[in-house]
Structures are given as C-alpha cells and as structure tokens.
Amino acid sequence: MGRQPCCDKVGLKKGPWTAEEDRKLMNFILTNGQCCWRAVPKLAGLLRCGKRCRLRWTNYLRPDLKRGLLSDYEEKMVIDLHSQLGNRWSKIASHLPGRTDNEIKNHWNTHIKKKLRKMGIDPLTHKPLSIVEQEDEEPVKKLQKVQMPLQEPAEKNFEEPTSYCLTKESNNTKNTSRLEESLDDDQFNAMNLEYGVEDVPLIDPESLELICSNSTMSSSTSTPSNSSNDSSFLKDLQFPDFEWSDYGNSNNNDGVDNIIENNMMSLWDVDDFSSWDLLLSSTFGLV
C-alpha cells in the first residue's frame, strides 16, 4: 500500500528554521506540552509539517539539551554502547542525557569512526581490523567461528547493557558494589530517584575514575590467563596493557576467542580505565 505523506506538503516551508519559527514552536510546546505533532504546526502558526516540528524540538529546541562536542567520557560511552547496540542511535542516546540520536549519529560518523579506524578497530564490528580483514579473506572460517553476520554485532545475544545499571536492586552486584563504594548514599539515592534501570545517568568522570581505579586493584588478581594468551592481535596493535575480560562466560580462559565469539569488544571491560585513557592520549591526543 502506498504510504501517505506525513503531511500535505503543498505550501510548506523547507530548509533552515528561522528564529521566529523556533520561538513559535518553543512557546507552543512550553505552553501546551507535546501533543499530536500533526496538529502542532496549525496550532502554533507554523508552515512546517508536524514531523519537522517534532524533529526540531527533539534535536534542537528541547531545554534539557546539552550543547557542544561530546566529552571524552560520553564518547567512550557511545563507543561501548554501539558495540552492544549497533546503530540503534536512539537507544544509545537514551543513555546519554541531553544528547540526541541525531547528534550522536553525526558524531559517530564524523569523529568516532575515524578514531576507531586509527586505533585499528573496525567501527562496524568493534573488532581489530586485522581480524576483520582475515575474516574477509576466509569467509567460510568466519562463518564457522562467529556464526553471525558481521554487520549486526548487537543482534546475537542482545541485552540491555547492565554495566551502567545504578539501581541497588540490580543483579549486577559487581558493578553495583563499585558504585556504592564510590558514591555516598545521597549521591546514590539521588540517582535512584531520578532514573530507572533504563534511564542511566551520566556519572561524573571523576567518580568514574575513582570507580575504575578501585576496580583495578581488585582485577589485578583475576584471570591472568586472559592477558597471557598467545593470540597475536593485541601484540600486533601494540595496545597498552589491556586485559580482555570474559564476556558472559566465566569459564572461558581465552579472552580473544571469547571476544570473537561475542563478536565485540567492550571498552567497559577494560578493567584498567587509566589504560584506556593512555590509549586515547597516545593514539589521538585525547585526555
């Protein structure tokens, strides 16, 4: 069936929004709230279709929007969320308060993609490029080993990321306890009041550094076999001292194979956050 256009396009204005249009839309939404978007242009006196009004509001006019470039911390979050969710920009955006899917998508396409490639990581699969290239050469092997399409890393065992879960009810006791140790009760309760499991607040970078430095201490005793595996890609990439954690399989003693099986690497699984900072600074001058 042929889809009807979202609105009658005859006589509608296109292109950049004027300050006057912004003001009208802003006034209308602030006064009346977000109702049926199709009706908004008429009621607000705008020559735009409802869909454009909604986009303008969500991407530009919303008062809770943050402006400016994504911080290093936000960038790290985007990368990790992307490794788990794929190109689900709105899902990713929902974990970054004040950021829009459009903004994150743009930032990904213009900045993060390049940075990851520079680091030798394939932005699509979040796997080292050397492995991706190998797989391209040997498609049969790839299928046997990975058993899922490379384009959609998130589709296999998709779960909402639990690493950011800040509720005390969380089953993820490891992460919860890290946070409980690092934040005092007031901070923790404030987060709990404001956000549910799905709505994850932005943690202050300083708090995060604290969390991660604590976890470094505890992780130093864990799974030495992970870092001592003889797979070559880490050496090839000359990364700083990474430890690749198990991804949902605590009995797996080969970190690299585990990464391949899960078809992703998570920066949040880098136990030592300072190593990540070091990587960023050594690779493209961040931090």
Task: Say how many residues touch DNA, by CB under 7 A.
Answer: 36
Residue placing its CB nearer to DNA in the complex, 111 or 156: 111
Q: How many CA atoms lie within 13 A of 71 on its CB side?
A: 12
Q: How far is the CB of 14 from DNA (least distance, A)?
A: 4
| 47 touches DNA by CB under 7 A | no
| 235 touches DNA by CB under 7 A | no
* Site residues (CB under 7 A) for DNA, limited to 15-34: 15-17
Residue placing its CB nearer to DNA in the complex, 24 or 54: 54
Q: What is the DSSP secondary-structure string of 37-76?
A: TTTHHHHHT-SS-HHHHHHHIIIII-TT---SSPPHHHHH
Q: How far is the CB of 246 from DNA (least distance, A)?
A: 28
Q: How many CA atoms lie within 13 A of 23 on its CB side?
A: 3
Residue placing its CB nearer to DNA in the complex, 105 or 145: 105
| 55 touches DNA by CB under 7 A | yes
**What are the respective helix, strand and coil percentages of the chain, to the nearest 5?**
55, 0, 45
| 56 touches DNA by CB under 7 A | yes
Gap between the Cα atoms of 156 and 148, Å rounded: 7
Sketch the per residue contact string, 78 through 117, with DNA: x for CB under 7 A, - otherwise: ---------xxxxx---------xxx-xxx-xxx------
Q: How far is the CB of 100 from DNA (least distance, A)?
A: 8
Report the chain's terminal Cα–Cα distance, integer Å: 52
The answer for residues whose C-beta is within 8 angstroms of residue 89's C-beta and 6 or more apart is 101, 102, 104, 105, 108
Q: Which amino acid is at 277?
A: D
CB 223 within 8 A of CB 253: yes
Residue placing its CB nearer to DNA in the complex, 14 or 235: 14
Q: How far is the CB of 243 from DNA (least distance, A)?
A: 31
Residues within the interface to DNA (CB under 7 A):
1, 3-4, 6, 14-17, 35-38, 48, 50-52, 54-56, 59-60, 69, 87-91, 101-103, 105-107, 109-111
